[in-house]
A and B are shown apart, each in its own frame.
Chain A
Amino acid sequence: MTAPYRIAGKGHLGTAPVARFTFDGKSYAGLEGDTLASALLANGVHLVGRSFKYHRPRGFLSSGVEEPNALVGVERDAARTTPNVRATVQELYDGLQAVSQNRWPSLSFDVGAVNNLGSPFFSAGFYYKTFMWPKAAWKHLYEPFIRRAAGLGVAPEQPDPDHYAARYEHCDLLVVGGGVAGLTAALAAAESGARVVLVDEQPEFGGSLRFESQTRIDGQDGWDWAQSAVHRLAGMDNVRLLTRTTAFGYHAQNMVAMIERVTEHLPGPLPDLPRERLWQVRAKQVVLATGSIERHMVFPNNDRPGIMLASAGRTFLNHFGVAVGRNVGIYTSNDSAYYAAIDLKKAGVSVAAIIDVRDNPKSAIVDQARALGIEIKAGHVVSGSKGHLRVSAMIVKPRGGGAEQTIAVDAMLTSSGWTPSVHLFSQSRGKVAYDEATQRFLPGTYAQACVSVGACNGSDRLEDLLIEASQAGRGAAQAAGVDHDAAGAYPEASAAEVWTGGMLGVAPGVEDKKAFVDFQNDVTAKDIAQAVREGMRSIEHVKRFTTNGMATDQGKTSNMHGLAIAAEVLGKPIPEVGLTTFRQPYTPVTFGAIAGNARGALFDPTRRTAIHSWAEEHGAEFEDVGQWKRAWYFPTAGEDMQAAINRECVTVRQNAGIFDASTLGKIEVVGPDAATFMELLYTNPWQKLEPGRCRYGIMLREDGYVYDDGVVGRLAADRFHVTTTTGGAARVLHHMEDYLQTEFPHLKVYLTSISEQWAVIAVQGPKSRDIIAPLVEGIDISDAAMPHMSVREGKICGVPTRLFRMSFTGERGFEINVPADYGRSVWEAVWAEGKKHGACAYGTETMHVLRAEKGYIIVGQETDGTATPDDVGLAWAIGKAKKDFVGIRGLQRQDLVAPGRKQLVGLRTKNSTTVLEEGAQLVADPNQPIPMKMLGHVTSSYWSENCGRSIALAMVEGGRNRIGDILYVPMPDNTIEVEVTEPIFFDEKGERLNG
């Protein structure tokens, strides 16, 4: 079965297998190697979408990534529906299912098309003007309308079942664009031995050689030359060739982000392959060979299906073997459309006429067209088109005015010239320069190790381009440090196409109404002129007012037209009106590719302790503490959270509890100056702390505020085992390293993180010593030999331990440090002993309650980065005789010694069963007018089963002088009366530490 518009023997697809597909439910056949666009055109289908704003029928404008119109949905299955796929880019595969978008109920009859009739209402700036008034209409009329109209296509609702790969790559030279310039540069560099990555967004290299029929290089047809160049490159092991890969972002220091579409062109799904691959390439040198993009002619009703770019018509014909019509009209202001006319004519397609804006076009190619008998109407313009769902005629008149003539056509190809693709150059922070003679922006000042070659650099003559690209390739290799002979042969152009010239904006004598500049956002020439008349001066304002160039095609075909129209209305030269900034991505990139494998288990590292699995097996609920999972509480059957915590809290104080404290940060401080360093980093004195003893240390920032705290054990004269908060582990080490390297580099001391070396098992409670006694070897753990706040090294369960006698509960307590891989095994042994003594396992919530009963602070809960040691009742931890430590000057600041600072106190609610809300504010008089004077806030609040009542800690202005006072906590529903107390609720004398 041959599709009606496929021309036998034309194109590069040869005898490719048939691929069947559907569009809006209707079945068609194409060839493997087709795009969805070429396959539809082969079947005579031009109507593929409705425009965004006016719902006008639209067809294909282009054959590539610049396509603004032909956005379709591709549906593989319920979870794999992709909206806004450019049909000109989507490769055909057998079984492809595509649907049109932005139409209801059907593509050929769309209710939304009434917008077209009301188009004056939707003119430039309509968002800003119309929807301001009346206010009520916003909610009921305008917003629902915008929500329905805005956005195209439908995103899938199911999770993405595919996976996405990522790859970092390094090379001497990255060549972006595999057309004639890119291939030439890559070959020249690769032959010198450089590591080369050549990337192109098309399925095959060759660039515009896909459609150039009159180019011959080294005696070969252009396309054939490209294929043999690729063949040579593929044989070199210093070259990586990437097709279907778009360089979409050019970052600092030649980091180029690229997206490779791995399976989008294959029938699938293929679970073994990533759907897309994100490349992050760090290149010593970059060659940009990104080519240029043809512009359409701007004339009334230039958006009818069937009106396309001349280069698209040639690509469909010369690459895919598809004629875009049977009787094609040509409208141009430069030579390149003549090639299209000649190709069509030679392929047996009728060319109705070439309408050329120029009065007297003269060139070899014009002569060629004339010699083929194609009618050329020079000095004419197209003033409109006819047709509904497909163009049926073009309306032509002399440029200077005169009678209109209607010429029947079934397709039109137009060209107003070529815009160099300077997107990546601009993203690299290069400055473009306007070339007056050719009316285009070209790379000007470079900001990175990068060079542009070929059409994107304005190199129009193939002979020059080949030399330029060869030299760029060799030069880049040399600049990257690859030794080679800089001279060398370069390809020679045997015959070339010449496309220079063109125009910007609307042709003279033609109306600007419905003359589309930006097809995707439905912006007409009239809209841009209107924006200027309404006061927009900079192109940045014109762009935002009209939305010209703001669609997903980023104005690849519209920006220069829009700029020229604005410049003309303003009466200013184009460079003075400015060029909008090119931003990444060059073409749309999926979130899937950007996220890569960073989802599910790999979204972020989940850190688990060596004892985690035991806690899991014993029914623990976990809480997230940074990246850590910590056992929160251990409910037994039928227990709710509060019941579990009550039981754990009571059991610890009655018998004992076992707690996984492995996540605490730990730092080993080693060296002859270790004590001196500790003196400088902590407020406490350390020189006289004997080896084998521990001390609770406070660390300040330079400003005098509490930064971290923890128990520090001195293992030897030159060795400290420092503990930090769980959350502070990394930043405390960095803080210490920072001071060591920048302020105290003379000290002989080194810091090593040992957080993960040691699993930590806290055994707390009156029975704690009895529990560990049978397990410990070589350490006398009697009170006399090992008092509270001491540390010993020895063995437990046959493995090395650092055993701390310390307490964060107020009970007698030990913290067993064992090498982490032994953690679970030792825990099990401790648990077995613990059960004999009625101990329980407890989690972080019980740990919090027990320490609050004792008034022990948690840095980050009682402190908020603005609390001094004195504020939280820890002035005793400052070495009074010390002359220096980080924060000592900060502590002397006026506001830090002034009276009335917030101080740590306890709160007892009048009603003992009322548990305050953490963060609640405290006031002296609940009846004062709002805004009330707030004295402080609740920092910690719990039900304490051990105290038989609620307890709370708070930071209150002048708090220590208010002990015994009554304060109030105003809540939304009621006001709670509280008494200010000392911040301790249990065992006020601290007798249980040894009991």
Chain B
Amino acid sequence: MANQIALRRPVLDGLSVQRQWVSVKPAAPASRIALRAPAESLSQLSASLSLTLPSKVRASATSGTRTALCLGPDEWLIIDADGVDIAGEMAGVEAFYSAVDVSHRNVGIIVAGEGAQAAISAGCPQDLALREFPVRACCRTILGKSEIVLQRTGDQEFRVECWRSFADYVFTFLQEASRDPLI
């Protein structure tokens, strides 16, 4: 049988942008689950995930290496930096839900620095002022001509998630946007 183990080749491997006011870097590979579930399933799912799933759209919750982003009334994106089998942990849940592995569908990009908000605001029409979009806020939105999921991970740090084949566009967009020094 096969001796050769396939290698994971992230699409943005080796790319990074570093400017005085902002940096743009690919996030490390992670496990991801697209979770869909009705409200009545949440407590069981939360227990199995060791993480309280936020029920407010645009909110996220983090526990250890795991973050759950509430993107819709019955929709979460769960990201675990540890590369674990998240769906496997939910396998015992009796309640109705759908967990689909999207670990490779999405690509994460970390935008950090005092110019991070400005760089994203070059193509994202959401109000990203700290008051309106505080740390841990998240949403599905657009950046230029691509759909993204955006999460604020710090006062001056964001995680941008997009689909794999849009990563080149999104990264290049942020690279171009980061040229603008206006904060």
Contacts and interface: CB of A to CB of B under 8 A. Distances in A.
Interface in B89-148: 96-106, 118, 121-127, 129, 132, 144-146
Contacts of A609: 165
Interface string A729-762: 0000000000000000000111011111110000
Given A165-B180, A601-B172, A609-B165, A819 B2 contact: no
A166 B4 contact: no
B166 A607 contact: yes
Interface in B66-95: 74
A798 B11 CA distance: 20
Nearest to B172: A601
Contact of B125 (A165, A282, A775): A282
Contacts of A604: 145
B104 A605 contact: no
B5 interface: yes
B76 to A, nearest CB: 12
Given A167-B118, A754-B100, A821-B11, A798 B164 contact: no
B96 A605 contact: no
A774 interface: yes
A600 to B, nearest CB: 9
A798 B98 contact: no
B165 A672 contact: no
Contact of B124 (A168, A671, A754, A829): A168
A757 B105 contact: yes
A774 B125 contact: no
B104 A819 contact: yes
A820 B172 contact: no
Contacts of A163: 176, 179
B160 to A, nearest CB: 14
Interface stretch (A273-281, A559-567, A584-592): A273-281
A754 B105 contact: yes
A822 B6 contact: yes
A752 B122 contact: no
A672 B104 contact: no
A756 B105 contact: yes
A605 B146 contact: yes
A511 to B, nearest CB: 54
B77 to A, nearest CB: 11
Contact of B122 (A166, A628, A799): A166
Given A610-B9, A797-B6, A671 B105 contact: no
A597 B4 contact: no
A670 B104 contact: no
Contact of A757 (B4, B104, B145, B166): B104
18 contacts: A163-B179, A165-B122, A168-B125, A170-B127, A602-B173, A605-B146, A605-B166, A605-B169, A668-B100, A754-B101, A754-B105, A755-B105, A755-B163, A775-B2, A797-B6, A820-B105, A821-B11, A825-B9
B182 A277 contact: yes
B15 interface: no
Contacts of A748: 96
B100 to A, nearest CB: 4
Interface string A766-807: 000000001111000000000000000000111100000000
Contacts of B126: 168
A170 B9 CA distance: 39
Contacts of B125: 168, 280, 282
A602 B144 contact: yes
B20 to A, nearest CB: 11
Nearest to B8: A821
Q: A interface, how many residues as a size bin? A: 35 or more
B102 A752 contact: yes
Given A168-B122, A195-B129, A755-B163, 15 more contacts: A163-B179, A274-B179, A605-B165, A607-B166, A752-B100, A757-B104, A777-B2, A798-B2, A798-B4, A799-B6, A818-B6, A820-B164, A821-B10, A821-B29, A825-B9
A169 interface: yes
Q: B interface, how many residues as a size bin? A: 35 or more
A826 B2 CA distance: 11
Contacts of B105: 753-757, 820
A705 to B, nearest CB: 29
A754 B122 contact: no
B164 A756 contact: yes
A272 B181 CA distance: 8
A167 B6 contact: no
A755 B147 CA distance: 15
B144 A821 contact: no
Given A166-B123, A606-B169, A822 B8 contact: yes
A608 B165 contact: yes
A167 B181 contact: no
B49 interface: no
Nearest to B165: A607
Interface string A264-277: 00000000111001
A777 B4 CA distance: 12
A55 interface: no
A776 B175 CA distance: 40
B1 A774 contact: yes
Interface in A465-499: none
Nearest to A670: B98
Given A165-B180, A754-B100, A170 B129 contact: yes
* Top-5 shortest CB links A-B: A607-B165, A750-B98, A750-B36, A798-B5, A670-B98
Interface string B1-35: 11011111111000000000000000001000010
Nearest to A668: B100
A170 B102 CA distance: 33
Give the most central of A170, A609, A752: most B CB within 10 Å.
A752
A824 interface: yes
Given A754-B100, A796-B2, A821-B8, A597 B177 contact: yes
Interface in A191-225: 195
A234 interface: no
A756 B101 CA distance: 11
A820 B106 CA distance: 10
Nearest to B173: A602
B52 to A, nearest CB: 21
A757 B98 contact: no
Nearest to A280: B125
Nearest to B129: A170
A236 interface: no
Interface string A157-176: 00000010111111000000
A598 interface: yes
Contacts of B34: 752
B85 to A, nearest CB: 10
Given A195-B129, A753-B105, A798-B2, A821 B9 contact: yes
A233 B18 CA distance: 32
Interface string B146-178: 100000000000000001111011001100110
B176 to A, nearest CB: 5
A758 B103 CA distance: 10
A281 to B, nearest CB: 11
Contact of B96 (A166, A280, A606, A671): A671
A577 to B, nearest CB: 41
B99 to A, nearest CB: 8
B179 to A, nearest CB: 7
Contacts of B123: 166, 168
Contacts of B166: 605, 607
Nearest to B75: A750
Nearest to A795: B2
A668 B2 CA distance: 29
Given A752-B98, A756-B163, A167 B144 contact: no
B11 A610 contact: yes
A165 B182 contact: yes
B7 A825 contact: yes
Given A272-B179, A752-B34, A754-B100, A167 B169 contact: no
B2 A829 contact: yes
Interface in A662-712: 668, 670-672
Interface in A822-837: 822-826, 829
